[in-house]
Chain A
Amino acid sequence: MATESQPRARKAGAFDIRLIIALLVGVYGVILTVMGIGFSSEEEIAKAAGVNINLWAGLGMLVVAALFVIWAVVRPLVVLAETETETGDTPTVAGE
């Protein structure tokens, strides 16, 4: 099934999960913030114990998303040229 060549396939390991997390949380944050500012009825706010939860949660998520982006920018993935070993504990990516 895997038709790619070895080195190509290894390198593809470098997609960055931090950016995917940032994308998801960021989009949710935008949706909620907009809902919170523009579309929250009195009734809905009363339901959530008087808190405009969409707005606050949305702003919180935007902050979280921004932190992930900053992390990914400050400590980018490094794909090291490596020798292929079957059991190798050779480092592939950094990002801690």
Chain B
Amino acid sequence: MLVLADANLRLDANAIDYIELAFYFVLVLGIGYLARRQVSSSLDFFLSGRSLPAWVTGLAFISANLGAVEVMGMSANGAQYGLPTVHYFWIGAIPAMLFLGIVMMPFYYGSKVRSVPEFMRRRFGKPAHLVNGVSFAAAQILIAGANLFLLASVVNLLLGWPLWVSIIIAAAIVLSYTALGGLSAAIYNEVLQFFVIVIALVPLTIIGLVKVGGWQGLVDKVTNSPGGTAQLHSWPGDNLTGFGNSVLSVLGIVFGLGFVLSFGYWTTNFVEVQRAMASKSMSAARRTPIIGAFPKMLVPFIVIIPGMIAAVTVSEYVKDKQVLLDGGKAESGVTFNNALLLLMRDLLPNGMLGIAIAGLLASFMAGMAANLSSFNTVFTYDIWQTYVKKDKPDHYYLNLGRVVTSGGTILAIGTAFIASNSGNILNYLQDLFSFFNAPLFATFILGMFWKRMTPHAGWSGLVLGTASAITIWALSQTGVIGLEGQGTSFVAAGVAFVVDIVVSVVVSLATKPKPDEELVGLVYSLTPKETRQHDATGENAGWYRKPGLLAGIVLVLTIALNAIF
């Protein structure tokens, strides 16, 4: 990413574009201020007082994830790999989101825990809780840093400010609204950001398609470009996984990406689950990820397709795509990460340009604010309140939350500089997710459905699972295992999952389980049916508010999309 400065990426923004940007930032800070007025307890600050409607939490649910990874990373992948990138959405997100809403949410919301690590503590006790809490907090700081770095590099491109100035100013804006209004400010801003991203990318995609001569024009151009027709069909996606064999590639996508990585990410990542926990009823909590799945299905069309269009129209890529695909350096200094910016530079007139820039900045801020608002919750409730200062009045934790948010921001500024040394940001983030989330999912799913699983199994499975993922990653980095592309993450996640399950089962059989009465509400077989179900009357009534039915609709649509592309 440091080569950004060499490439001709300066966008020709004028006064109108800056006015649009400024107006957006005024509203962002205004939301922080308005949300500040509804914060009167720590639960208000960390979980929005569990009061939000499902459409708000549902949009925030995907917007929290629609950060740098998604918008820049996925358009980069679109340029590099083409349509196989859709697997990150249709295989790698939708099924897991539905699973979270239908199967897991009753336990999260029903048990009234305030965070995912807290669920861990009640199910497995303190050692597992500590492992989960600390690793989650560390991961959030690293990812917040990556988001911050991308945000700053766009500001750097646009205004020509030095990178470090951009990083600090961007951090200050995100900090001011998350520290003021807590999770509500973050969530309301995420909803606003979602719409800004959409109104920025939809017009870009449309004129991109007009320019290449419609869908058929894009197909023709991609067919004749390096990478060829493999970029036009989502399956088998050999180019994406880096596996030489189509069968292995399909297996890698379905189990590695679709099952382990994505279920791990969507169902146990507190950044996401926190949004659902902030909703106002069990029914709304279950609908949160399912409502989020509808727009999530369509996001690839405004992210991946612009990336593909950029790869065949932007002069730098037309010249050097083959070089870049081979892992070389383009003469012009561009990388695939620049795809979206280059397309904006080529197509958008002033006016639309300002909105597109606002959309990009919005997306990076959404990501970073989501990281910070979940970091401060876990740090305050799970680390500080559990292990350091227990019985303080609620006010103490509310104030602490604001201090921790600031501390987290300062740490993220540090990690932003670490992120600047990693070439492919997406790989870097995928690696992190596979280290933390895959074993976590294994432990959760086993723990929710097998009451015999013991506290010792909880922490040992997590530790050894994570360690095995790191081992695979290290072996591949040093060249002992020859894997390319995203395949390393898929394999590392798969191994971590299996190791976690095996260790958990073996340790459980050798140690003593918790008594049944402590597991009520946490384990499927010990939770009475009524508490797992939601109220379907009043404002939760109506067929369009039934989680199961909504999930069915999403599933049918997703299968149709997979069949078409």
Contacts and interface: CB of A to CB of B under 8 A. Distances in A.
Interface of A: 1-2, 4, 6, 9-10, 12-13, 15, 17, 20-21, 23-25, 27-28, 31-32, 35-36, 39-40, 44-45, 47-51, 53-54, 56-58, 60-61, 64, 86-96
B320 to A, nearest CB: 22
Given A47-B349, A96-B539, A35 B16 contact: yes
A48 B207 contact: yes
A95 B203 CA distance: 29
Nearest to B394: A86
Contacts of A31: 16, 19-20, 351
Interface residues of B, number: 57
A21 B38 contact: no
Interface stretch (B188-196, B223-231, B242-250, B322-330): B188-196
Q: In terms of DSSP, what is the predominant structure of the interface of chain A?
A: helix
Nearest to B188: A17
Interface in B110-158: 112
Nearest to A68: B195
Contacts of A45: 349
Contacts of A91: 51, 280-281, 539
Contact of A4 (B31, B37, B191, B351): B37
A28 B210 contact: no
A27 B23 contact: yes
A32 B382 CA distance: 47
A10 B114 CA distance: 19
B539 A94 contact: yes
Given A32-B351, A35-B16, A49-B347, A56 B27 contact: no
B40 A61 contact: no
B51 A92 contact: yes
Given A48-B347, A96-B545, 14 more contacts: A2-B395, A12-B38, A20-B27, A24-B27, A28-B355, A39-B351, A47-B349, A53-B203, A53-B349, A54-B349, A64-B199, A86-B43, A89-B50, A90-B280
A38 to B, nearest CB: 11
B537 to A, nearest CB: 12
Contacts of B280: 89-93
B211 A57 contact: no
Contacts, number: 147
A1 B399 contact: yes
Interface stretch (B52-60, B427-435, B455-463): B52-60
B282 A89 contact: yes
A17 B192 contact: yes
A51 B49 contact: no
Contacts of A40: 349
Contacts of B549: none
A60 B355 CA distance: 13
A9 to B, nearest CB: 4
Given A31-B20, A51-B207, A10 B53 contact: no
A94 B112 CA distance: 22
A12 B44 CA distance: 12
Interface in B180-210: 184, 188, 191-192, 195-196, 199, 202-203, 206-208, 210
Nearest to B279: A89
B348 interface: yes
Given A48-B348, A89-B282, A57 B402 contact: no
B118 to A, nearest CB: 12
Nearest to B37: A12
